[in-house]
Amino acid sequence: MKPLIRFMNKLSILFRRGPFRSELDEEMAFHRAQVEKELLAGGMSAEVARYAAMRQFGNSEKFREQSQEVFAFRAETVAQDVRFALRQWARYPSFACTGILILALGMGVSLAIFGFVDAALLQPLPYASPNQLMSVNESNVESPRWPLSYPDFRDWQRLNKSFLSLDIYSGTGFLLRTPSGAEPVAGERVSGGFFQTLGVRPILGRDFSPDEDRLGGPNVVLLSYGAWLGRFGGRRDLVGQTVELDNQAYTVIGVLPPRFYFARADDAEFWVPINSLSYHEQMRTFYNFWGVGRLRDGVTTQAALSEMITVSKQLQRQYPTADHYEGASVSPLLDVIVGEVRPVLLTLLGGAVLLLLIACVNVASLVLVRSESRRREIAVRGALGASPARLAGQFVAEGLLLALIGSLAAVFAAGGFMKLLARLLPKDMVESMPFWGGVGLNAHTGLFAVLITLLAGLLLAVTPTFQLSFQKVRDGLAEGDRSASARLWRRLGANLVVVELAVAVVLLAGAGLLGQSLYRLLHVPLGFDPDHLATLEVTAPTAIFQNTQRTLELYHEIVRSVSRLPGVESVGFTSTLPVQCDCPVDWITFPGRPFHGEHNTVDERHVSPDYLPTLKATLVRGRLFTGAEDESTPGVVVVNQALARRYFPDENPIGHSIGDYEGGHPSLRRIIGIVDDVREGPLDADVLPAEYFPINQTLDHDFDLVVRTRQDAAALLPTLAGAIHQIDLNLGVSNEETMNERIDDTQAARLHRFSAWLTGGFAAMALILSLTGLYGVVSYSVSRRTREIGVRMALGARRSSVYLLVVGQAGWLTGIGLAIGLLSSVGASLLIRNLLFGVRAWDELTLGGVIAVLGLSSMAASFFPARRAASVNPTDALRAE
């Protein structure tokens, strides 16, 4: 109540400030006049009475000030402080700009990385009680998490008591019939209770019914919100209608909520119940489904795991099989989704916050340098009666203002950093963690921004005040104190600079090594010429291209019409494009050699006769496919050099046969040719042995077209898609890209680019910070030693020796920092050697370069204060005492 009254009273004065002053003046004048009158009446002369009255009244100016202060708002002095700070900055813009830039960088990076941490760790599972959700799977020696087979799933579902519900999911794709032709779309097959288990309800229509979950149930589909809006214009009457997927009619029964995503199947647009199984899927040993379950209340992860292991063992006794997948795995869904990135993100956040801290300390040191040159101003203000609180208030205002402007700039910078980081993220990371889409400025990041602004402001405000409190006004006027705090700060600052320089060395060396790795990676021998290659994925519906005849005709038709396009030199197709993945693989055997079930893993590709020539792969021995191969002729295969070297080291493989156990039936193929290694797998992996089957014998319905052109490959892409649809509108066409785009977009390239850029970014920050830190410390020391330098020069020291004095001090710090940094960077590069490609962890050139860059820029940073020191006028410096 009382504060309110006071506030209202102040407010009433605020709006009549002018009258308030004049009334006060009038009142005081009246008072003096009355005293004067009385004294006159007592017999004094007029002049004496006037002076006596004034003496009796006291210093009217002081009392007027005091009276006004009673009614003044705190904000008014703050506004004064802010105005004063801005005037100060305008006089020394380089100080303000550097400070704000450093703060913006430090805060921006912290904020951006916090955005990712927030998205990944604070809000990754948008489901009801996400802690109860478990990833439930089989497990075996090779892999701790292994998918379930359908019969196992049904038994686990029936036998377990730990889970409220247990469901499975498995990715799939469909050909969606659209007016402009068939289009491949991503889908997900899930068991009936999947959405109930997650706690997600359709916003339109209904969930799957038990009837639709049974084998042989009707074709129904739930649409993702995006698909409903994007493909069907958000029509509410779509529910109940049918869409055509893989040439079959599916009834739309509902639409999923807009914010729904499932991290393991994010791009899925069409969700169907698992109510029809392929031949393989009916087998107990065909593992194709991932499990997710919701724990009953009070059941622990551990209890659920031991129960599932028991269930799994019981089933094995019941159905002994050749394949033994004897275990079970139960772990929180959250861990499965973000488990791998959590430590990485937390480390990054830790690093960013550390950088921010260093940034703040550096700016604080700049503020100190400034306050050092303002000691006289402060001393004068103090002598004129400014209270210590008022003087400290000035610094607090400046610190907070600096932090505030810095953080505003940081918010903009963070937006840019986040976009940059998101673009650099490795592909599979983005796909398996769709919550990255939620990265951005929101309430959480806003709160974090406010928090770091306050902390930075506090640090910046307190540092100079701290010094102020040690400093006696008198010393300030004399400009000659050697206070303990100044020494403390110099020592602290110097140590900090050494640490910063060491960190900068480590990060720059890391960035250099990773940058070289990236370069080497992108220039690794491919075994083919990736320029002028256009690629495209084709999906032929099996319902239409049922028999061999029709499929072969399709192959011919594609070659004919694509070859007719202008600029096309040749066209081939393959089941899997090169440089993507060492998959699918085959386990091969050699007739006539002993076989003990070992896995002779090779890449398996099904290719058209013109495919290898189109790539410009080199034939080493034998011949390639002629196009005359088909199901009636004996099986043939072309192998790569790696296969020949590994499995036929001392003989000519041509004419030998290799076999596999596809579907349990051994099949043999005769080797007819050897090609030089084409890099089928990732850029950073060793080339695996590979076998190429003629596609005319395997009759694939999903394959990638590779077209060599004389012109720019990207220009061909649109006409290419059109040409395929002209053959048959039912053909699915997707992923039109040039070969070089695909290589750039591979996991390995992205991972290396990501780490190189990220480290590079941090290294650049570290460089800037260590240089400003060095500058701050050297400048501070120079400003404290002005008198000493003046004395030296008065005694005959040359300017060059003053330069040497200052640069020498910086040189010491730099030398120690670089030495420590060098040692640490050897250790650090051993830590990242898994990310290195084609460079050694100890690379003299990189380290030498880093030392040169840091050494030279350190010298530059200390040059400016040195020049200031050398231009000290000895007379002025001495007279200042």
Partner 1 sequence: MVRGMTKKPELLPGTLDMLILKTLTRAPLHGYGIALSIKRLSEDVLTVEEGSLYPALQRLLLQGWVKAEWKMTETNRRARFYRLTAEGRKQLGVEMSQFEQMIAAIGRVLRAAQEA
Contact residues for partner 1, defined by CB under 8 A: 2, 5-6, 9-10, 23-24, 26-28, 30-31, 34-35, 56-60, 62-64, 66-67, 69-71
Longest dimension (CA), the chain: 143
Of 43 and 58, the one with the shorter C-beta distance to partner 1 is 58
Q: Please, what is the minimum distance in Å from the beta carbon of residue 80 to partner 1?
A: 20
Residue 398 tokens, joined: 């400046």
Of 33 and 249, the one with the shorter C-beta distance to partner 1 is 33
Of 63 and 812, the one with the shorter C-beta distance to partner 1 is 63
| Residue 269 to residue 267: CA distance in whole angstroms | 6
Q: Please, what is the minimum distance in Å from the beta carbon of residue 6 to partner 1?
A: 6
Q: Please, what is the minimum distance in Å from the beta carbon of residue 790 to partner 1?
A: 39
Q: Please, what is the minimum distance in Å from the beta carbon of residue 49 to partner 1?
A: 15
Q: Please, what is the minimum distance in Å from the beta carbon of residue 31 to partner 1?
A: 4
Of 59 and 241, the one with the shorter C-beta distance to partner 1 is 59
* Closest to 673 in 3D by CA, of 604, 622, 635: 622
Residue 550 carries which side chain, given as an amino acid letter?
A: R
Instruction: Give Cα 560 distance to the centre of its chain.
Output: 45
| Residue 463 to residue 458: CA distance in whole angstroms | 8
Of 70 and 795, the one with the shorter C-beta distance to partner 1 is 70
Of 63 and 84, the one with the shorter C-beta distance to partner 1 is 63
Of 28 and 44, the one with the shorter C-beta distance to partner 1 is 28
Q: Please, what is the minimum distance in Å from the beta carbon of residue 63 to partner 1?
A: 4
Of 70 and 628, the one with the shorter C-beta distance to partner 1 is 70
Cβ-in-10-Å burial (0-12, 13-18, 19+) of 319 comes to exposed
Q: Please, what is the minimum distance in Å from the beta carbon of residue 67 to partner 1?
A: 4
Q: Please, what is the minimum distance in Å from the beta carbon of residue 24 to partner 1?
A: 7
Residue 825 tokens, joined: 């960077």
Of 5 and 795, the one with the shorter C-beta distance to partner 1 is 5
3-state secondary structure of 697: helix
Of 5 and 322, the one with the shorter C-beta distance to partner 1 is 5
Q: What are phi and psi of 500, to 5 degrees?
A: -60, -45
| Residue 351 to residue 114: CA distance in whole angstroms | 11
Q: Do 733 and 724 contact (CB within 8 A), yes or no?
A: yes
Which H or E element spans position 178? strand 163-178
Cα Rg for the chain, rounded, in angstroms? 39
| Residue 351 to residue 727: CA distance in whole angstroms | 56
Q: Please, what is the minimum distance in Å from the beta carbon of residue 26 to partner 1?
A: 7
| Percent of the chain as helix, strand, coil, to the nearest 5 | 55, 15, 25
3-state secondary structure of 476: helix
Of 59 and 347, the one with the shorter C-beta distance to partner 1 is 59
Q: Cβ contacts of residue 138 below 8 Å, gap of 6+?
A: 146, 147, 148, 149, 152, 287, 312, 325, 327, 328, 329
The dihedral sign for the CA sequence 496, 498, 501, 506: negative
| Residue 39 to residue 26: CA distance in whole angstroms | 20
* Closest to 174 in 3D by CA, of 229, 115, 219: 219
Q: Please, what is the minimum distance in Å from the beta carbon of residue 52 to partner 1?
A: 12
Q: Please, what is the minimum distance in Å from the beta carbon of residue 507 to partner 1?
A: 58
